[in-house]
Structure 1
Amino acid sequence: MHKVSILLASGLILAGCGGDSDEGPSVGSSIRHYVPATGATFHWQLQGTVNTGYDVDIYDIDLEDSSSDLIADLQAQGRRVICYFSAGSYEDWRGDAGDFPSAVLGNTLDGWEDERWLDIREQSVRDIMLARLDMAETKGCDGVEPDNVDGYSNDSGFALTGPDQLEYNRFLATSAHDRGLAIALKNDLDQIPDLVDDFDFAVNEECWEYEECDALAPFIEAGKAVLHVEYAESLVTDPVARQAFCAELSGSGLSSAVLPEDLDDSFRYVCP
Protein backbone atom coordinates (compact mmCIF):
# COMPACT_ATOMS: atom_id res chain seq x y z
CA MET A 1 0.00 0.00 0.00
CA HIS A 2 3.03 2.27 0.06
CA LYS A 3 2.77 4.69 -2.85
CA VAL A 4 5.59 6.99 -1.76
CA SER A 5 6.82 7.99 -5.20
CA ILE A 6 3.34 8.98 -6.35
CA LEU A 7 2.65 10.92 -3.19
CA LEU A 8 5.91 12.80 -3.20
CA ALA A 9 5.32 13.80 -6.79
CA SER A 10 1.83 15.03 -5.99
CA GLY A 11 2.72 16.99 -2.88
CA LEU A 12 0.81 14.65 -0.59
CA ILE A 13 1.98 12.36 2.14
CA LEU A 14 0.78 8.89 2.97
CA ALA A 15 -0.83 9.32 6.36
CA GLY A 16 1.16 7.68 9.01
CA CYS A 17 2.72 10.95 10.07
CA GLY A 18 1.03 11.67 13.35
CA GLY A 19 0.59 15.08 14.84
CA ASP A 20 0.29 16.46 18.32
CA SER A 21 -3.37 17.40 17.94
CA ASP A 22 -5.38 15.74 20.69
CA GLU A 23 -7.53 17.65 23.10
CA GLY A 24 -9.60 20.42 21.61
CA PRO A 25 -10.76 23.62 23.23
CA SER A 26 -11.60 23.77 26.88
CA VAL A 27 -15.36 23.53 26.97
CA GLY A 28 -16.02 23.61 30.69
CA SER A 29 -14.76 21.88 33.80
CA SER A 30 -17.66 19.41 33.80
CA ILE A 31 -16.64 17.97 30.42
CA ARG A 32 -15.20 14.47 30.78
CA HIS A 33 -14.97 13.40 27.16
CA TYR A 34 -12.44 13.79 24.38
CA VAL A 35 -12.68 16.83 22.10
CA PRO A 36 -10.46 16.43 18.99
CA ALA A 37 -8.60 19.61 18.11
CA THR A 38 -8.45 21.24 14.70
CA GLY A 39 -5.78 19.58 12.59
CA ALA A 40 -6.11 16.13 14.16
CA THR A 41 -4.80 13.33 11.94
CA PHE A 42 -6.95 10.28 11.32
CA HIS A 43 -7.46 6.90 9.70
CA TRP A 44 -11.01 5.97 8.69
CA GLN A 45 -11.62 2.31 7.89
CA LEU A 46 -14.96 0.53 8.09
CA GLN A 47 -14.27 -2.62 6.06
CA GLY A 48 -11.58 -5.29 6.07
CA THR A 49 -9.00 -6.04 8.74
CA VAL A 50 -8.15 -2.71 10.34
CA ASN A 51 -4.65 -1.55 9.46
CA THR A 52 -3.24 -0.54 12.85
CA GLY A 53 0.04 0.76 11.46
CA TYR A 54 -0.77 4.44 10.93
CA ASP A 55 0.76 7.03 13.26
CA VAL A 56 -2.32 9.21 13.62
CA ASP A 57 -4.31 10.85 16.39
CA ILE A 58 -7.65 9.18 15.62
CA TYR A 59 -8.89 5.83 14.32
CA ASP A 60 -12.50 5.82 13.11
CA ILE A 61 -13.66 2.19 12.91
CA ASP A 62 -16.92 0.23 12.95
CA LEU A 63 -18.55 -0.14 16.36
CA GLU A 64 -20.06 -3.60 15.87
CA ASP A 65 -17.18 -5.15 13.94
CA SER A 66 -14.39 -3.92 16.22
CA SER A 67 -13.44 -5.83 19.33
CA SER A 68 -12.59 -4.37 22.71
CA ASP A 69 -9.10 -5.81 22.28
CA LEU A 70 -8.57 -3.94 19.00
CA ILE A 71 -9.75 -0.71 20.57
CA ALA A 72 -7.50 -1.20 23.58
CA ASP A 73 -4.52 -2.04 21.36
CA LEU A 74 -4.97 1.17 19.37
CA GLN A 75 -5.29 3.20 22.54
CA ALA A 76 -2.13 1.60 23.90
CA GLN A 77 -0.38 3.02 20.82
CA GLY A 78 -1.61 6.49 21.78
CA ARG A 79 -4.57 6.59 19.38
CA ARG A 80 -8.05 7.80 20.14
CA VAL A 81 -10.76 5.48 18.84
CA ILE A 82 -14.01 6.73 17.34
CA CYS A 83 -16.66 4.06 16.76
CA TYR A 84 -18.97 4.29 13.74
CA PHE A 85 -22.63 3.32 13.62
CA SER A 86 -25.63 4.47 11.62
CA ALA A 87 -28.08 6.43 13.74
CA GLY A 88 -30.49 7.30 10.95
CA SER A 89 -30.71 4.18 8.82
CA TYR A 90 -31.57 0.51 9.17
CA GLU A 91 -28.88 -1.91 7.97
CA ASP A 92 -30.18 -5.42 7.49
CA TRP A 93 -26.88 -7.11 8.36
CA ARG A 94 -26.50 -5.66 11.86
CA GLY A 95 -26.84 -7.84 14.93
CA ASP A 96 -29.73 -5.76 16.25
CA ALA A 97 -31.59 -5.53 12.91
CA GLY A 98 -34.42 -7.64 14.31
CA ASP A 99 -35.08 -5.07 17.04
CA PHE A 100 -36.47 -2.47 14.62
CA PRO A 101 -40.28 -2.48 14.24
CA SER A 102 -41.33 -2.50 10.60
CA ALA A 103 -43.25 0.75 11.11
CA VAL A 104 -40.01 2.72 11.64
CA LEU A 105 -38.43 1.57 8.34
CA GLY A 106 -38.74 4.08 5.53
CA ASN A 107 -37.41 4.48 2.01
CA THR A 108 -34.18 2.99 0.72
CA LEU A 109 -31.14 5.26 0.89
CA ASP A 110 -30.03 6.56 -2.48
CA GLY A 111 -27.06 4.45 -3.54
CA TRP A 112 -27.35 2.03 -0.61
CA GLU A 113 -29.95 -0.56 -1.51
CA ASP A 114 -29.60 -2.53 1.72
CA GLU A 115 -30.28 0.46 3.99
CA ARG A 116 -33.54 2.21 4.83
CA TRP A 117 -34.20 5.52 6.53
CA LEU A 118 -35.53 5.41 10.08
CA ASP A 119 -38.33 7.36 11.72
CA ILE A 120 -36.11 9.11 14.25
CA ARG A 121 -39.14 10.42 16.14
CA GLU A 122 -39.99 6.94 17.43
CA GLN A 123 -38.85 5.86 20.91
CA SER A 124 -38.05 2.35 19.66
CA VAL A 125 -35.38 3.81 17.38
CA ARG A 126 -33.94 5.85 20.22
CA ASP A 127 -33.82 2.84 22.53
CA ILE A 128 -31.77 0.93 19.95
CA MET A 129 -29.38 3.88 19.60
CA LEU A 130 -28.98 4.07 23.36
CA ALA A 131 -28.04 0.38 23.33
CA ARG A 132 -25.45 1.10 20.64
CA LEU A 133 -24.01 3.93 22.72
CA ASP A 134 -23.88 1.54 25.69
CA MET A 135 -21.91 -0.85 23.47
CA ALA A 136 -19.48 1.95 22.58
CA GLU A 137 -18.97 2.75 26.24
CA THR A 138 -18.53 -0.92 27.18
CA LYS A 139 -16.03 -1.54 24.39
CA GLY A 140 -13.97 1.44 25.50
CA CYS A 141 -14.45 3.76 22.51
CA ASP A 142 -13.33 7.36 23.02
CA GLY A 143 -16.17 8.64 20.89
CA VAL A 144 -18.74 7.83 18.25
CA GLU A 145 -19.57 8.78 14.67
CA PRO A 146 -23.34 8.37 14.14
CA ASP A 147 -24.09 8.38 10.42
CA ASN A 148 -27.16 9.44 8.41
CA VAL A 149 -28.25 12.18 10.80
CA ASP A 150 -29.79 14.27 8.02
CA GLY A 151 -32.89 12.25 7.12
CA TYR A 152 -35.05 15.37 7.22
CA SER A 153 -33.34 16.64 4.06
CA ASN A 154 -33.70 13.34 2.20
CA ASP A 155 -36.59 11.32 0.79
CA SER A 156 -36.93 9.31 3.97
CA GLY A 157 -40.55 8.25 3.57
CA PHE A 158 -41.45 10.14 6.74
CA ALA A 159 -42.54 13.74 7.29
CA LEU A 160 -39.37 14.62 9.16
CA THR A 161 -38.72 18.31 9.79
CA GLY A 162 -35.61 20.32 10.55
CA PRO A 163 -36.66 20.67 14.21
CA ASP A 164 -37.19 16.89 14.38
CA GLN A 165 -33.61 16.38 13.21
CA LEU A 166 -32.16 18.97 15.57
CA GLU A 167 -33.92 17.37 18.53
CA TYR A 168 -32.77 13.87 17.55
CA ASN A 169 -29.20 14.92 16.93
CA ARG A 170 -29.06 16.69 20.29
CA PHE A 171 -30.51 13.56 21.89
CA LEU A 172 -27.59 11.59 20.42
CA ALA A 173 -25.05 14.17 21.57
CA THR A 174 -26.38 14.35 25.12
CA SER A 175 -26.63 10.57 25.37
CA ALA A 176 -23.03 10.18 24.14
CA HIS A 177 -21.73 12.78 26.57
CA ASP A 178 -23.62 11.12 29.44
CA ARG A 179 -21.48 8.06 28.72
CA GLY A 180 -18.22 10.01 28.52
CA LEU A 181 -18.06 9.70 24.74
CA ALA A 182 -17.10 12.34 22.20
CA ILE A 183 -19.49 12.63 19.27
CA ALA A 184 -19.05 13.74 15.66
CA LEU A 185 -21.60 15.55 13.55
CA LYS A 186 -21.63 13.67 10.25
CA ASN A 187 -22.38 15.88 7.23
CA ASP A 188 -25.75 17.68 8.01
CA LEU A 189 -24.16 20.92 6.84
CA ASP A 190 -27.23 23.13 6.99
CA GLN A 191 -27.65 22.54 10.72
CA ILE A 192 -24.04 23.13 11.73
CA PRO A 193 -24.70 26.64 13.12
CA ASP A 194 -27.33 25.16 15.43
CA LEU A 195 -25.34 22.07 16.43
CA VAL A 196 -21.67 23.08 16.61
CA ASP A 197 -21.88 23.66 20.36
CA ASP A 198 -23.49 20.26 20.93
CA PHE A 199 -20.93 18.21 18.98
CA ASP A 200 -17.21 17.77 19.58
CA PHE A 201 -15.97 17.52 15.99
CA ALA A 202 -17.26 16.94 12.47
CA VAL A 203 -16.87 14.22 9.86
CA ASN A 204 -17.57 15.32 6.32
CA GLU A 205 -17.76 13.60 2.96
CA GLU A 206 -17.14 15.49 -0.28
CA CYS A 207 -17.58 19.11 0.77
CA TRP A 208 -14.89 20.00 -1.78
CA GLU A 209 -16.65 18.10 -4.58
CA TYR A 210 -19.87 20.01 -3.91
CA GLU A 211 -18.26 23.35 -2.98
CA GLU A 212 -19.65 23.25 0.56
CA CYS A 213 -16.54 23.34 2.76
CA ASP A 214 -17.22 26.89 3.95
CA ALA A 215 -20.21 25.49 5.85
CA LEU A 216 -17.79 23.70 8.20
CA ALA A 217 -16.16 26.94 9.34
CA PRO A 218 -18.02 27.04 12.69
CA PHE A 219 -16.22 23.87 13.80
CA ILE A 220 -12.84 25.26 12.75
CA GLU A 221 -13.55 28.56 14.48
CA ALA A 222 -14.44 26.64 17.65
CA GLY A 223 -11.08 24.83 17.51
CA LYS A 224 -12.75 21.48 16.81
CA ALA A 225 -11.46 18.97 14.25
CA VAL A 226 -13.11 18.42 10.88
CA LEU A 227 -12.20 15.02 9.43
CA HIS A 228 -12.80 15.48 5.71
CA VAL A 229 -12.70 12.88 2.92
CA GLU A 230 -13.15 12.99 -0.85
CA TYR A 231 -13.82 10.09 -3.21
CA ALA A 232 -13.59 11.73 -6.66
CA GLU A 233 -11.95 9.52 -9.28
CA SER A 234 -9.82 12.44 -10.50
CA LEU A 235 -8.23 12.74 -7.06
CA VAL A 236 -7.60 9.01 -6.91
CA THR A 237 -5.91 8.72 -10.30
CA ASP A 238 -4.32 12.13 -10.96
CA PRO A 239 -1.37 13.25 -8.77
CA VAL A 240 -1.58 16.77 -10.20
CA ALA A 241 -5.25 17.02 -9.25
CA ARG A 242 -4.45 15.84 -5.73
CA GLN A 243 -1.71 18.43 -5.43
CA ALA A 244 -4.11 21.19 -6.50
CA PHE A 245 -6.75 19.87 -4.10
CA CYS A 246 -4.39 20.00 -1.15
CA ALA A 247 -3.07 23.42 -2.15
CA GLU A 248 -6.61 24.77 -2.34
CA LEU A 249 -7.44 23.52 1.16
CA SER A 250 -4.11 24.50 2.72
CA GLY A 251 -4.76 26.68 5.73
CA SER A 252 -8.46 25.81 5.84
CA GLY A 253 -8.16 23.88 9.10
CA LEU A 254 -9.69 20.78 7.55
CA SER A 255 -8.00 17.41 8.04
CA SER A 256 -8.39 16.23 4.44
CA ALA A 257 -7.85 12.86 2.78
CA VAL A 258 -8.72 11.01 -0.42
CA LEU A 259 -10.06 7.56 0.44
CA PRO A 260 -11.88 4.67 -1.28
CA GLU A 261 -15.64 5.01 -0.96
CA ASP A 262 -15.72 1.50 0.51
CA LEU A 263 -13.39 2.72 3.30
CA ASP A 264 -11.44 -0.52 3.06
CA ASP A 265 -7.87 0.89 3.21
CA SER A 266 -7.20 -0.10 -0.39
CA PHE A 267 -5.48 3.27 -0.83
CA ARG A 268 -5.01 6.40 1.28
CA TYR A 269 -3.80 9.86 0.36
CA VAL A 270 -3.60 12.61 2.97
CA CYS A 271 -2.88 16.30 2.54
CA PRO A 272 0.24 17.37 4.43
Structure 2
Amino acid sequence: MNGRKVLVATICLACLSMLSWADVVYLKDGGVIKGKVIESVPGVSYKIKTADGSIFVFEVDKVERVKFEEVPEVEKRVAPVEEVIPVRPVKVKEKPALSAQKMPISAGGGLGSFKVEGALEGADIGRGMELFGDLRLMVRNNFAIQGELRSGKLSGDEPIEGLPVKSTYKYLSYGATGLLLFNLSPENPLVLYAGGGLSRYNWDYSGEAPETEYTYAFKLSSKESNWGYHLCGGGEYPIGENLFLWGEVRKIIGTIKDPKIKIKVNGNEGEFTNEDWDYGHMVFRGGLRISFK
Protein backbone atom coordinates (compact mmCIF):
# COMPACT_ATOMS: atom_id res chain seq x y z
CA MET A 1 0.00 0.00 0.00
CA ASN A 2 2.79 2.38 0.92
CA GLY A 3 4.54 1.50 -2.33
CA ARG A 4 1.41 2.48 -4.30
CA LYS A 5 1.29 5.88 -2.51
CA VAL A 6 4.93 6.47 -3.34
CA LEU A 7 4.27 5.56 -6.97
CA VAL A 8 1.28 7.96 -7.20
CA ALA A 9 3.27 10.78 -5.59
CA THR A 10 6.15 10.17 -7.99
CA ILE A 11 3.81 10.33 -11.00
CA CYS A 12 2.25 13.59 -9.70
CA LEU A 13 5.66 15.17 -9.20
CA ALA A 14 6.71 14.10 -12.68
CA CYS A 15 3.59 15.72 -14.17
CA LEU A 16 4.15 18.94 -12.23
CA SER A 17 7.80 19.05 -13.29
CA MET A 18 6.64 19.08 -16.92
CA LEU A 19 4.74 22.35 -16.28
CA SER A 20 6.23 25.80 -15.88
CA TRP A 21 5.17 29.43 -16.05
CA ALA A 22 6.11 32.08 -18.59
CA ASP A 23 5.12 35.50 -19.88
CA VAL A 24 2.98 35.11 -22.99
CA VAL A 25 2.76 38.03 -25.41
CA TYR A 26 -0.25 37.95 -27.75
CA LEU A 27 0.23 40.11 -30.85
CA LYS A 28 -2.66 41.82 -32.61
CA ASP A 29 -1.84 40.02 -35.88
CA GLY A 30 -2.24 36.60 -34.22
CA GLY A 31 1.36 35.91 -33.27
CA VAL A 32 2.30 34.51 -29.86
CA ILE A 33 5.64 34.56 -28.07
CA LYS A 34 6.48 32.84 -24.79
CA GLY A 35 9.38 33.68 -22.53
CA LYS A 36 10.21 36.31 -19.92
CA VAL A 37 9.52 40.04 -20.18
CA ILE A 38 12.85 41.57 -19.16
CA GLU A 39 11.93 45.21 -19.78
CA SER A 40 8.65 47.07 -20.08
CA VAL A 41 8.55 50.75 -21.02
CA PRO A 42 4.96 51.89 -20.24
CA GLY A 43 3.20 53.13 -23.33
CA VAL A 44 6.17 52.35 -25.61
CA SER A 45 7.50 48.77 -25.82
CA TYR A 46 8.02 45.29 -24.35
CA LYS A 47 11.32 43.39 -24.43
CA ILE A 48 10.98 39.59 -24.07
CA LYS A 49 13.63 36.88 -23.84
CA THR A 50 12.70 33.38 -25.08
CA ALA A 51 13.93 30.04 -23.74
CA ASP A 52 16.63 29.74 -26.44
CA GLY A 53 18.09 33.15 -25.52
CA SER A 54 16.54 35.17 -28.36
CA ILE A 55 15.51 38.73 -27.46
CA PHE A 56 12.74 40.63 -29.23
CA VAL A 57 11.32 44.11 -28.76
CA PHE A 58 7.69 44.88 -29.66
CA GLU A 59 5.98 48.25 -29.95
CA VAL A 60 3.10 48.45 -27.49
CA ASP A 61 0.55 49.22 -30.22
CA LYS A 62 1.40 45.86 -31.84
CA VAL A 63 0.58 43.95 -28.63
CA GLU A 64 -2.95 42.83 -27.78
CA ARG A 65 -2.20 41.63 -24.25
CA VAL A 66 0.49 40.13 -22.01
CA LYS A 67 -0.34 37.31 -19.60
CA PHE A 68 1.57 35.16 -17.13
CA GLU A 69 0.53 31.59 -18.00
CA GLU A 70 1.36 27.98 -17.27
CA VAL A 71 3.14 26.25 -20.17
CA PRO A 72 4.63 22.74 -20.60
CA GLU A 73 8.27 22.61 -19.57
CA VAL A 74 9.12 20.72 -22.76
CA GLU A 75 7.69 23.50 -24.89
CA LYS A 76 9.56 26.09 -22.87
CA ARG A 77 12.91 24.31 -23.31
CA VAL A 78 12.62 22.86 -26.80
CA ALA A 79 10.34 24.91 -29.04
CA PRO A 80 12.37 27.16 -31.36
CA VAL A 81 11.41 30.78 -31.83
CA GLU A 82 10.14 30.16 -35.38
CA GLU A 83 7.53 27.70 -34.09
CA VAL A 84 6.39 29.94 -31.24
CA ILE A 85 6.08 33.13 -33.34
CA PRO A 86 4.51 32.61 -36.78
CA VAL A 87 5.07 36.28 -37.68
CA ARG A 88 8.14 38.44 -38.04
CA PRO A 89 8.57 40.48 -34.83
CA VAL A 90 8.64 44.26 -34.98
CA LYS A 91 12.04 45.70 -34.17
CA VAL A 92 12.14 49.12 -32.51
CA LYS A 93 14.99 51.28 -31.32
CA GLU A 94 15.49 50.91 -27.59
CA LYS A 95 15.21 54.10 -25.54
CA PRO A 96 15.86 54.84 -21.85
CA ALA A 97 12.85 54.28 -19.62
CA LEU A 98 11.44 57.63 -18.49
CA SER A 99 8.90 56.38 -15.95
CA ALA A 100 5.99 58.84 -15.79
CA GLN A 101 7.09 60.69 -18.90
CA LYS A 102 6.54 57.66 -21.15
CA MET A 103 2.83 57.75 -20.47
CA PRO A 104 1.05 59.80 -23.15
CA ILE A 105 -0.83 61.96 -20.61
CA SER A 106 -0.11 62.96 -17.02
CA ALA A 107 -1.45 65.53 -14.56
CA GLY A 108 0.42 67.28 -11.78
CA GLY A 109 -0.29 69.69 -8.96
CA GLY A 110 1.08 71.11 -5.74
CA LEU A 111 2.30 74.21 -3.91
CA GLY A 112 4.95 76.83 -4.56
CA SER A 113 6.75 79.57 -2.65
CA PHE A 114 7.73 82.89 -4.26
CA LYS A 115 8.86 86.44 -3.49
CA VAL A 116 7.92 89.57 -5.50
CA GLU A 117 9.16 93.10 -4.89
CA GLY A 118 6.45 95.70 -4.33
CA ALA A 119 5.02 97.51 -7.35
CA LEU A 120 5.19 101.03 -5.87
CA GLU A 121 8.67 101.36 -4.39
CA GLY A 122 10.24 97.94 -4.98
CA ALA A 123 10.17 97.03 -1.30
CA ASP A 124 10.71 93.50 -0.02
CA ILE A 125 7.34 92.47 1.43
CA GLY A 126 8.02 88.81 2.24
CA ARG A 127 7.16 85.49 0.63
CA GLY A 128 3.92 84.31 -0.94
CA MET A 129 2.34 80.96 -1.76
CA GLU A 130 0.90 79.65 -5.01
CA LEU A 131 -1.36 76.74 -5.93
CA PHE A 132 -0.90 75.19 -9.36
CA GLY A 133 -1.94 72.36 -11.65
CA ASP A 134 -0.89 71.15 -15.09
CA LEU A 135 -1.73 68.66 -17.83
CA ARG A 136 1.21 67.16 -19.76
CA LEU A 137 1.23 65.52 -23.19
CA MET A 138 4.22 63.54 -24.49
CA VAL A 139 4.71 64.43 -28.17
CA ARG A 140 8.08 62.74 -28.73
CA ASN A 141 10.41 60.35 -26.95
CA ASN A 142 11.91 62.94 -24.58
CA PHE A 143 9.80 66.04 -25.31
CA ALA A 144 6.51 67.14 -23.75
CA ILE A 145 4.12 70.09 -23.89
CA GLN A 146 2.46 71.13 -20.65
CA GLY A 147 -0.59 73.36 -20.11
CA GLU A 148 -0.60 75.14 -16.74
CA LEU A 149 -2.87 77.07 -14.38
CA ARG A 150 -1.56 78.92 -11.29
CA SER A 151 -2.92 81.17 -8.58
CA GLY A 152 -0.78 82.99 -6.02
CA LYS A 153 -1.06 85.46 -3.14
CA LEU A 154 1.45 87.62 -1.26
CA SER A 155 0.66 89.95 1.65
CA GLY A 156 2.94 92.15 3.70
CA ASP A 157 3.90 95.63 4.87
CA GLU A 158 5.06 97.86 2.02
CA PRO A 159 6.35 101.28 3.17
CA ILE A 160 5.34 104.00 0.69
CA GLU A 161 7.01 107.37 1.31
CA GLY A 162 7.42 106.41 4.94
CA LEU A 163 3.77 105.41 5.41
CA PRO A 164 2.96 101.86 6.61
CA VAL A 165 0.86 100.37 3.81
CA LYS A 166 -0.59 96.87 4.13
CA SER A 167 -0.28 95.48 0.58
CA THR A 168 -1.75 92.35 -0.99
CA TYR A 169 -0.78 90.99 -4.40
CA LYS A 170 -2.83 88.25 -6.07
CA TYR A 171 -2.42 86.71 -9.48
CA LEU A 172 -4.06 84.17 -11.77
CA SER A 173 -1.86 82.79 -14.51
CA TYR A 174 -2.27 80.36 -17.39
CA GLY A 175 0.18 79.29 -20.07
CA ALA A 176 2.21 76.54 -21.73
CA THR A 177 5.66 75.04 -21.22
CA GLY A 178 7.89 72.88 -23.41
CA LEU A 179 9.98 70.30 -21.54
CA LEU A 180 13.04 68.22 -22.45
CA LEU A 181 13.28 65.10 -20.23
CA PHE A 182 16.29 62.86 -19.65
CA ASN A 183 17.71 60.11 -17.40
CA LEU A 184 21.10 60.23 -15.72
CA SER A 185 21.31 56.51 -16.54
CA PRO A 186 18.87 53.81 -17.76
CA GLU A 187 18.98 52.13 -14.32
CA ASN A 188 18.25 55.34 -12.36
CA PRO A 189 14.48 55.97 -11.93
CA LEU A 190 15.09 59.69 -11.30
CA VAL A 191 14.07 61.78 -14.32
CA LEU A 192 15.35 65.33 -14.80
CA TYR A 193 13.85 67.97 -17.05
CA ALA A 194 14.43 71.52 -18.27
CA GLY A 195 12.28 73.85 -20.33
CA GLY A 196 10.64 77.20 -20.82
CA GLY A 197 7.39 78.80 -21.86
CA LEU A 198 4.96 81.69 -21.95
CA SER A 199 2.22 82.65 -19.46
CA ARG A 200 -0.47 85.27 -19.12
CA TYR A 201 -0.46 87.00 -15.71
CA ASN A 202 -3.49 88.81 -14.28
CA TRP A 203 -2.38 90.84 -11.25
CA ASP A 204 -4.74 92.27 -8.63
CA TYR A 205 -3.16 94.70 -6.15
CA SER A 206 -4.70 96.35 -3.09
CA GLY A 207 -3.13 98.48 -0.38
CA GLU A 208 -4.42 100.23 2.72
CA ALA A 209 -2.77 102.80 4.99
CA PRO A 210 -4.15 103.94 8.36
CA GLU A 211 -4.74 107.55 9.29
CA THR A 212 -1.78 109.30 10.91
CA GLU A 213 -1.25 112.63 12.60
CA TYR A 214 -0.40 114.20 9.25
CA THR A 215 -2.29 112.13 6.65
CA TYR A 216 -5.73 110.70 6.02
CA ALA A 217 -6.29 106.97 5.70
CA PHE A 218 -6.22 105.91 2.07
CA LYS A 219 -6.67 102.85 -0.13
CA LEU A 220 -4.84 101.82 -3.30
CA SER A 221 -5.84 99.34 -5.99
CA SER A 222 -4.71 98.20 -9.42
CA LYS A 223 -5.53 95.49 -11.95
CA GLU A 224 -2.98 94.74 -14.66
CA SER A 225 -2.38 91.93 -17.16
CA ASN A 226 0.52 91.03 -19.42
CA TRP A 227 2.49 88.14 -20.90
CA GLY A 228 5.55 86.86 -19.10
CA TYR A 229 8.22 84.26 -19.82
CA HIS A 230 9.64 81.52 -17.65
CA LEU A 231 12.52 79.04 -17.50
CA CYS A 232 12.36 75.93 -15.33
CA GLY A 233 14.26 72.85 -14.23
CA GLY A 234 13.36 69.97 -11.93
CA GLY A 235 13.17 66.26 -11.27
CA GLU A 236 10.60 63.49 -10.78
CA TYR A 237 10.88 60.25 -8.82
CA PRO A 238 8.42 57.31 -8.82
CA ILE A 239 6.72 56.47 -5.52
CA GLY A 240 4.07 54.16 -7.03
CA GLU A 241 3.12 52.47 -10.28
CA ASN A 242 1.69 55.66 -11.81
CA LEU A 243 2.46 58.17 -9.03
CA PHE A 244 5.49 60.43 -8.89
CA LEU A 245 6.98 62.99 -6.51
CA TRP A 246 8.52 66.03 -8.13
CA GLY A 247 10.19 69.36 -7.40
CA GLU A 248 11.06 72.36 -9.57
CA VAL A 249 12.78 75.74 -9.61
CA ARG A 250 11.23 78.31 -11.96
CA LYS A 251 12.40 81.79 -13.01
CA ILE A 252 9.61 84.20 -13.98
CA ILE A 253 10.45 87.13 -16.30
CA GLY A 254 7.92 89.93 -16.78
CA THR A 255 7.30 93.68 -16.56
CA ILE A 256 4.11 95.73 -16.27
CA LYS A 257 4.52 98.94 -18.27
CA ASP A 258 3.17 102.16 -16.68
CA PRO A 259 0.83 100.52 -14.14
CA LYS A 260 -2.26 102.56 -13.26
CA ILE A 261 -2.87 102.92 -9.51
CA LYS A 262 -6.24 104.04 -8.17
CA ILE A 263 -6.31 105.91 -4.86
CA LYS A 264 -9.25 106.61 -2.55
CA VAL A 265 -8.80 109.09 0.29
CA ASN A 266 -11.32 110.97 2.44
CA GLY A 267 -14.19 110.03 0.10
CA ASN A 268 -12.36 111.19 -3.03
CA GLU A 269 -10.98 108.99 -5.80
CA GLY A 270 -8.14 109.52 -8.22
CA GLU A 271 -5.62 107.69 -10.36
CA PHE A 272 -1.91 108.02 -11.07
CA THR A 273 0.60 106.25 -13.30
CA ASN A 274 3.52 104.59 -11.58
CA GLU A 275 6.91 103.55 -12.92
CA ASP A 276 7.29 100.19 -14.71
CA TRP A 277 6.91 97.24 -12.33
CA ASP A 278 9.30 94.33 -12.76
CA TYR A 279 7.48 91.36 -11.23
CA GLY A 280 10.20 88.84 -12.15
CA HIS A 281 10.82 86.33 -9.38
CA MET A 282 11.90 82.80 -8.47
CA VAL A 283 9.39 80.09 -7.55
CA PHE A 284 10.23 76.89 -5.65
CA ARG A 285 7.55 74.27 -6.32
CA GLY A 286 6.79 70.71 -5.35
CA GLY A 287 3.95 68.24 -5.68
CA LEU A 288 2.67 64.97 -7.12
CA ARG A 289 2.12 63.72 -10.67
CA ILE A 290 -0.14 60.90 -11.84
CA SER A 291 0.18 59.26 -15.25
CA PHE A 292 -2.55 57.77 -17.41
CA LYS A 293 -2.10 54.99 -19.97
Q: Which protein has the larger Cα radius of gyration, Structure 1 or Structure 2? A: 2
Q: What is the TM-score of this pair, normalised by structure 2?
A: 0.17
Q: What is the TM-score of this pair, normalised by structure 1?
A: 0.18
More strand by share: 2
More helix by share: 1
